[in-house]
Amino acid sequence: MKYALFVIAGFFILASLVMPASAFTMKSLDITVGQNGDAIIDAQYDLSFIEQSAVYFQLADPSQQLQSAFNSKNSAPVTVTSVSSGSAEIIVPAYASVKSTRDGTTYTTPTLSFERAKTALQGYWFAPLVSLDFSNGLTTVTFPDGYAPQFYGQISIPSVSHTIP
């Protein structure tokens, strides 16, 4: 077992010497809010060779970091439904608050920041070898009626309120 760890560590050291700085890049984040306030969140990201290797050897888990970012805002547990080397899908119960008013139903999403996930990933031993970019290329929040505000290049997504008559 020790030999395998030395081989893996040697591989990462060699890779860091011959490869340019790697990057975890969040390409897009799609948040689809259901009528009850639950959300299905689809994250698309790019992993470098080093990061894919770290995931393969279970040294890092991007879905865990996404799950932890959403669990901190929610009392109900978040469920990771699928994960791959380039995407993750999670279900967040009661993501948006839902209130009935005389004007209709108002949905309000929370502010969402990936600063904590970025800080957590920087704690890994291979963090000096990678460049983390959580500022999404595109974040879309889609409400039950199809209204879909979009945000570009932001690490924090503001709260969004929308009323459906």
Q: What is the pLDDT of residues 80-135, one digit of tens each?
A: 888 777 888 989 999 999 999 899 999 999 998 877 666 766 666 656 656 666 66
Contact 95, 74 (CB under 8 A): yes
| Nearby residues of 163 by Cβ (< 8 Å), 6 or more positions away | 101, 103, 104, 105, 106, 107
Q: What is the pLDDT of residues 8-63, one digit of tens each?
A: 444 444 444 444 444 567 788 999 999 999 999 998 887 766 666 665 555 555 55
Q: Which sequence spans correspond to the domains of the chain?
A: 18-164
User: Partners of 33 in the beta sheet?
Assistant: 39
Among 101, 107, 86, 84, CA closest to 31: 107
Of 32-46, 62-76, 126-140, 150-164, the one with minimum mean pLDDT is 62-76
- Residue for token pair 């393969």: 56
CA distance 40 to 79: 10
